[in-house]
Amino acid sequence: MSKTAFLFPGQGSQYAGMGKDLAEHFPVARQAFEEADDALGFKLSALCFNGPDDDLKLTFNTQPAILTTSIAALRVVQQETGLKADFLAGHSLGEYSALVCGGALSLADAARTVRARGTFMQEAVPVGVGAMAAMLSIEADELTAICAEAAQGEVVAPANFNSPGQIVIAGHATAVNRAIELAKAKGYRKAMLLPVSAPFHCALMQPAADRLKTVLDAVQVNALTLPVITNVEAAANQDSGRVRELLVQQVCAPVRWEQSVQTMIGLGATTFVEIGPGKVLTGLVKRINKEMTLVNIEDTAGVKAAA
């Protein structure tokens, strides 16, 4: 029997206006934004609906904004469509949305936690010291070797295994640039720096992981109603006792997205529903396996199409 996976986007999917249409048409969506506004003590909803983009791009705003928009969309999906998930997964930050969907975290706790997470990640490395770059058409083993050669005592390593031929590296800006030059010297021309404010998912994020552990230790984690395919292990976890440690590890560990999708396909998933802003994740699923049924739900039109 074919199964369905709900996917939740991470940082980079944000845009001014996200969630506004849903909040205007569905009380359950509006309520999600109100819960987050109350939890954070400021109008996150206004930032999502109206921007400005420069404020929305700040990591400590981006993370709760995407999370809340995703949960608002999820609540509409649950109320208005017959879609039901067998598995949950989220890309980096999106794993928190998956955990809210699976009942492990409340929206209020998740919003406060990811706002802290965004602050800690931004403060872990001074602006300009770190960088991330997308490396295309390079096999993982080859890229790992290039990073090892480029490090020269600094940090540079694969950070996101997104899809075949799309891996993101992160680390010290100087080391990332050396890796790009080495890759080009070996004939890999498609490498580009990403417009991010910090080098996520690498060893430079350890100070952020240490601070996040303190925050997570104080958060209530409930039983998981569905398995979450975790970024760190690309394996199904339904043990609520492991949620905190996996979220802490996730800060420095690479996002194993391609492997996570393959895990869900191996478990019988044939339909992938991306819930929240953008279409990044269904785009990656399509590159991983063209046979899958893909659904995007971020506005009223998406809800109607899925109903």
Q: How far is CA 240 from the centre of its chain?
A: 20
Sign of the alpha-carbon dihedral angle for 110, 116, 117, 122:
positive
Residues noted as catalytic = 92, 201
Sign of the alpha-carbon dihedral angle for 145, 151, 154, 155:
negative
Nearest to 62 by CA among 50, 44, 43, 46: 44
Q: How far is CA 214 from the centre of its chain?
A: 21
Cα–Cα dist 60/43, whole Å? 14
Sign of the alpha-carbon dihedral angle for 185, 187, 189, 194:
negative
CB-based burial of residue 231 (10 Å sphere; 0-12 exposed, 13-18 middle, 19+ buried)? buried
Residue 134: in which H helix or E strand, if any? Answer: strand 130-136
